[in-house]
Structure 1
Amino acid sequence: MNDTPLLEVEDLKQHFPLKGGGLFGGTSGHVRAVDGVGFTVREGESLGLVGESGCGKSTTGQMIARLLEPTGGTVRYRGRDITHASRKQLAPIRSEIQMVFQDPYSSLNPRQTVGSIVSAPMEVNGVEPPGGRQARVQELLETVGLNPEHYNRFPHEFSGGQRQRIGIARALALSPKLIVADEPVSALDVSIQAQVVNLLRRLQREQGIAFLFIAHDLAIVRNFSHRVAVMYLGRIVEIADRDELYGNPHHPYTHALLSAVPEHDPRRLGQRERIRLTGDVPSPANPPSGCRFRTRCWKAQDVCASEEPPLQPIAEGHLTACHFPEARGDDGRLPSVVSIASASPAGSAGGS
């Protein structure tokens, strides 16, 4: 894996205007869906982006794929600023950044055949592969585990898992260097999820594709990603290598998320502790002052309300935004200073 940053994101923001009532309307405020996110993705690397429903992870992915215009911040691809690049300026690199969407049902045009769907990126970009587009589409279908002879079938003739494979084939059509995978398996049956994740892992290994893997299932993220970034209310609160983050989390929110992952080893069931967070996630239209997690955090003090904690290094490659970072005890157990209950099957951080 190359250490050269393929993608660099700095202070990325997306503020959606809130329209006021009354005769003339107007803007009454903004929803800070993403409010200062920064990270890098190296060539051939997979960065997992996790967090609760509404934390802004999907919006972040859409801005990187340039499906949304950022409100602020910078997105650089191979050192080139593409934050506000025009369609013409994006043309040379558009083929290198592709997206796999969450819903395999709504992301495919039901009136088009599989052949038309997968070949669309080639048609839009004027790409004529050797042997023709049909041969290339059939090759891609075979690559993702589908029958090449299904070229003329329609999406409704396929299962959910097969439709997501069609979406992956479409994303591969232009040989991308970076794929933004937005909850690619959350709409699929559990029995199918592992198959799709294994497909993405094989493609990454064989073709050297970098992934921004957006998900709420922490177990899947652990199996797929090299590094993991945890988002809360529009900001990244912790980022580290996979093994470091799962084995030695420092942010209280990360502790809470990991405590909800089901324990599959029956010998450890009695040792599992679960942190129950009190209160609801604050509104991104009116986030708390200082640390945004403080309204649900058991370690919050006055400084947490007055000063926003910076995302700073705790160890090499491990960054945490917390005034009072946690650590696992010597026995590997979570701190016992909070309201803890027996773990129950809730191994996800929420929807997208």
Structure 2
Amino acid sequence: MTRDAATGRTVEQSAGNEPAPGEPLLVAERLTKHFPIMGGFPFQRKVGAVQAVDGIDLAVHAGESFGLVGESGCGKSTTGRLLTRLLEPTAGRISYRGQDITHVDRKALAPIRSEIQMIFQDPYSSLNPRQTVGAIISGPMEINRIRPPGGRETRVRELLETVGLSPEHYNRFPHEFSGGQRQRIGVARALALNPRLIVADEPVSALDVSIQAQVVNLLQRLRAELGIAFVFIAHDLAVVRHFSQRVAVMYLGKIVEVGDRESIYARPRHPYTHALLSAVPDATEFLAEGAGASHVDAGYAGAGGGPAPGPGRIRLAGDVPSPIRPPSGCRFRTRCWKARDRCASEEPPLTHIPGNRAGHLTACHFPEDPTTERGEEVILDPALRGGDVAKGRGVEG
């Protein structure tokens, strides 16, 4: 019997505990991952760290779809690997069904790993080219010594059919399939152990737009039919809007806003969220006229994702700061049109602010007013960093 050194409780006992009604399935508290940078000769001295994820809090409930969005390099994928314990956290706490799993060893984590699975971003490199589809999907069952009724081969053929592939593909190799079909194989592998939670790390970003819709709709159907919770990581806000019930926005290792889908997309309060949404093209009319769609919201139809939160597009000047030396205070302040001295000296907490709905949290000292009309375009001057940093009509100065 294995005990968690930190809590003294056995993982086997805790894995059987169900969360109380209303309590989250998975909780991350102050979750942090810093990758050390070694320097000197022969690289034996730590000279810094990449602050990939820096003290984030999130909770995922049973059966819900939780979206995690942000620019490339903001820490989304690292967060996913931390939640699945593929990476060891630098600090913070991860709880699954009431059990602290932050530092349990590999053997003790095995029964929990069967309930938390992952779908990887690249369908070409995430499948072993030397193995058949049958061996790939049955691999998790062999590792966990699971023999389903009817045998593993029967179970694999059922899973292939579940994800929209033919059971006859059992003896084929990955190179015989397209990218979309390979990703379906990855989905089948994730389903092999009947998980309660799946972390999908940009599962459609490597696929053609026409195939993205099929895979996203497949995942949504599986969530509805099987009751699986999803952490859906993506940089495409249109995809996240279609799939996720709650959404968290990340910037430079921090969660800057989180809330239900309607709050984030209709009433964004953080300037970064506002800027992201303003860049999403409104393809509703194009889809309805060009593609003959009678109701765009009936299913994800590719690019686009609804109107921006204001009449103008916000173009952020400059690059995202380095995660090695992030800005003090608010990390978005170097690109924000509302930055003040307070933003440099005080980090804003992720909290409920007046005007937000229940569960809608924002980390900003000077949040956006979603009712404020903006000009046609906002262009930020990268040379200005304090006080009035915005140029453009209708921008609060």
Pairwise TM-score range, normalised by the shorter structure: over 0.9
Shift of 1:25: 3.9
1:126-156 deviation digits (Å, cap 9, x = unpaired): 0000000000000000000000011000000
What's 2:348 paired with? Answer: 309
Question: How far did 1:24 drift?
Answer: 5.3
Secondary structure of 2:51's counterpart equals: strand
Contact 2:317–2:379 (Cα < 8 Å) also in 1? no
5 Å matches for 1:137-286?
A: 137-266=156-285, 272-286=311-325
- How far apart, in 1, do the equivalents of 2:79 and 2:29 lie? 12
Matched, 1:319 2:361: yes
1:124 equivalent in structure 2: 143
3-state DSSP of counterpart to 1:120: helix
Maintained 8 Å contact 2:311/2:376: no
- C-alpha contact (below 8 Å) 1:12/1:74 kept by paired residues: yes
Between the aligned partners of 2:41 and 2:157, the Cα distance in structure 1 is 56
What CA distance in whole angstroms lies between the structure 1 residues aligned with 2:185 and 2:285? 38
Q: Does 1:339 align with 2:379?
A: yes
Q: Which runs of 5+ in 2 are unaligned?
A: 1-20, 287-306, 381-397
Q: Distance in 2 between matches of 1:107 and 1:144?
A: 17
Distance 1:274 1:86 in 2: 48
Deviating more after overlay: 20-29 vs 195-204: 20-29
Question: 2: distance between equivalents of 1:263 and 1:41?
Answer: 29
Q: Which has the higher contact order (CA 8 A, sep 6+)?
A: 1
Superposition deviation, residue 26 in structure 1: 1.1
Deviation, structure 1 residue 335: 6.8
Q: Does 2:52 match 1:43?
A: no
Q: Deviation string for 1:251-309 (max 9, x for gaps)?
A: 0000000001011145989x842101011100000000000000000000000000000
Asked if 1:291 corresponds to 2:310, the answer is no
**Superposed, which structure 2 residues align to 1:92-107 within 5 Å?**
92-107=111-126
Give 1:23 shift.
4.5
TM-score by length of 1: 0.92
In the alignment, the residues of structure 2 paired with residue 204 and residue 90 of structure 1 have an alpha-carbon distance, to the nearest angstrom, of 24
Residue aligned with 2:249, SS:
strand
Q: Secondary structure, in 3 states, of the residue corresponding to 2:199? A: strand
Deviation at 1:172, TM superposition (A): 0.1
Give the letter for the 2:177 counterpart: F
Deviations 1:58-97 (A, max 9, x none): 0000011111000000000001000111112112211100
Aligned residue pair count: 336
C-alpha RMSD of the superposition: 1.7
Partner SS state of residue 56, structure 2: strand
1:8 to 24, 27, 38: 27
Q: 1:169 to 1:266 in 2, by over 3 A?
A: closer
Partner of 2:390: none
Q: Is the 8 A contact 1:328 1:335 kept in 2?
A: no
Distance (whole Å) between structure 2 residues aligned to residue 79 and residue 241 of structure 1 = 23
Q: Does structure 2 retain, via aligned residues, the 8 Å contact 1:138–1:148? A: yes
Structure 1 residues 337 and 102: CA distance shift in structure 2, 3 A? closer
2:142 counterpart letter in structure 1: E
* 1:319 partner amino acid: L
CA gap 1:4/1:298 in 2 versus in 1, 3 angstroms = same
Structure possessing the higher radius of gyration over alpha carbons: 2
Q: How far apart are residue 334 of structure 1 and its match?
A: 4.6
Distance 1:218 1:319, change over 3 A: same
- Aligned partner of 2:391 in structure 1 is none
Q: Is the 8 A contact 1:46 1:225 kept in 2?
A: yes
Alignment gaps of 5+ in structure 1: 341-352
TM-score normalised by the chain length of structure 2: 0.82
